[in-house]
Amino acid sequence: MKSFDVVTIGAGGASYPAAFRLKKAGFSVIMIDDKGIMSGNCLAEGCVPSKAIIETVHTYKRISDFGDFRINYRDILKRKDKVQILRNGLHRKELEEAGIEILKGVAKIIDSSTVEVKTEAGNIKLNYKHLIIGSGAYTYMPQIKGIEYAITSADLFRIDPKIKDLPESIAIIGGGYIGVETASYMSIMGSRVELIERSDRILMDMDPEIVGKLEPLLPDMRVHFNNSVISIEPDGDGYKTTIIDNNGKSDSVITACVMMATGREPLIPEGTEEAGIKFNRKGIIVNSSMQTNIPNIYATGYVNGIAPLFHAAKRQSLIAANCIMSGDMPVDRFQDNCVPFTVYTIPNMSFTGITPEKAKELGIKYIKSKYKMADDSLAEIYNEPGGELDLIFDEDMKIIGGYVIGNDAGNIINEISMGLSKGLTARDFAELPHQHPMTFEGLDSAARKLF
């Protein structure tokens, strides 16, 4: 049986940063991945390709004010594919240079020092000193009649995707961030969008104050709130999706395409339970150093259910690496109050830290200060006056959260997160002369209103 200092299950953002760091420190490392390639769902069918499409559509939207241009969906996909192929190549090169092996296969945990991998060449047992479970998530598909007619995000985003032309119309089942992002760019490109959401609002698990401000700014789409899907069936060239609302009233929408966007679930590796690793419905249970109840076994990224974000997974992966390098001591910790989260709708919506609803829940008195995009030079230049930037402070004027809707949301949120991480105050933001004329000016402007 081959022995490694460190084995990772998965080769995505939850695994490879640790693998590289540990290899550099002299540990022997192997990554096990069912796709056999590095970077996981994020690059294969997630954040990178969706962002490639969304950014291009956003740029197109901005320029549309200046003429009656047309842009081809196939060209957008070409750019997307190019980025994915380029990044796959970069990753292969990095692996080679570091001398790290990826074993293609599916891992099964045997015990606290052994893992078994089903590969094309048969089952292989590996011995380890430290294990990092970074197995990620899978797309949850509910039991609906005709579910086989529905596409998933992978059909839109993987290299050479199934959906090659902009559907004339689309029914999107699920109003979470994947559903709403897709709805957003499809609508701008000209699709008729029918969004079906079980609850009474979109982005259900996010702060209603923030979502409530985003909603009126979204592109045209028809949202069926409080509706569940009963069945999908072929109907002419398209599909008929039958839905039923809370009162039992039934209706249907006919679209060229139906997409399931009902969320993702942590992918608990086989053998987890038998090996005595504790987990629950949200994922594998870890402490703030990503250690499971077995101290030499770590769970990082989506599989622990703490923060379903690629950048959080990377950080957690490095935390595991730091602890492994210190003899499984919890020397590094995940600070979950300062992770930025962006929904790539058009406009973007970002938030971090304690948002208003959370503050109310926790009974924290807060002071909020707002900067409106309508007053921002750059937003005016882009003709995107909707949205705002809100900073949230506690009574000592320390920043505890913030959100941005509109221009540069996904950029600005980082500095707010840094403020959270380092305990910065309203004065710290007010006194930094942010670059003019950029929307970052809103950070000092908003903070200054309190003085």
Residues 306-345 that bind a second copy (CB under 8 A): 309-312, 314-315, 318, 325-331, 333, 335-342
Closest Cα to residue 61, out of 196, 203, 217, 259?
217
Of the ranges 190-198, 261-269, 270-278, 371-379, which one interacts with a second copy (CB under 8 A)?
A: 371-379
Residues 406-435 that bind a second copy (CB under 8 A): 408, 410-415, 417-419, 421-424, 428, 431-435
CB closer to a second copy, 249 vs 449: 449
Residues 389-408, interacting with a second copy (CB under 8 A): 395-398, 408
**Residue 4 Cβ vs a second copy, minimum distance, rounded to whole Å:** 16
| 66/121 with CB nearer a second copy | 66
* Nearest to 8, CA basis, from 288, 313, 305: 313
The residue range among 107-115, 117-125, 230-238, 376-384 that interacts with a second copy, by the rule CB under 8 A, is 376-384
Q: How far is Cα 218 from Cα 346, in angstroms, rounded to an integer?
A: 7
Please list every residue from 6 through 35 that binds a second copy, using CB under 8 A: 13, 21, 24-27
User: According to CB under 8 A, which residues from 254 to 313 bind a second copy?
Assistant: 288, 309-312
Member of 59, 199, 246, 250 binding a second copy (CB under 8 A): 59
State the binding string over 193-222 for a second copy (x if CB under 8 A, else -).
Answer: ------------------------------
Among 79, 104, 118, 192, binds a second copy (CB under 8 A): 79
Q: Is 251 a residue that touches a second copy (CB under 8 A)? A: no
Among 28, 35, 60, 285, binds a second copy (CB under 8 A): 60
- Interface stretch with a second copy, choices 71-79, 103-111, 239-247, 353-361 (CB under 8 A): 71-79
The site that binds a second copy (CB under 8 A) totals a number of residues, namely: 98
In the complex with a second copy, the residue whose CB is nearer, 30 or 150, is: 30
The token pair at 138 is 């899978």
Closest distance to a second copy from the beta carbon of 59 (Å): 5
Residue list 146-185, contact with a second copy (CB under 8 A): none
Q: Which of 29, 32, 42, 131 binds a second copy (CB under 8 A)?
A: 42
Q: Quick one: which segment of 69-77, 180-188, 201-209, 216-224 binds a second copy (CB under 8 A)? A: 69-77
Nearer residue to a second copy within complex by CB, 196 or 318: 318
Closer residue to a second copy, CB minimum distance, 45 or 441: 441
Span from 55-63, 148-156, 240-248, 275-283 in contact with a second copy (CB under 8 A): 55-63
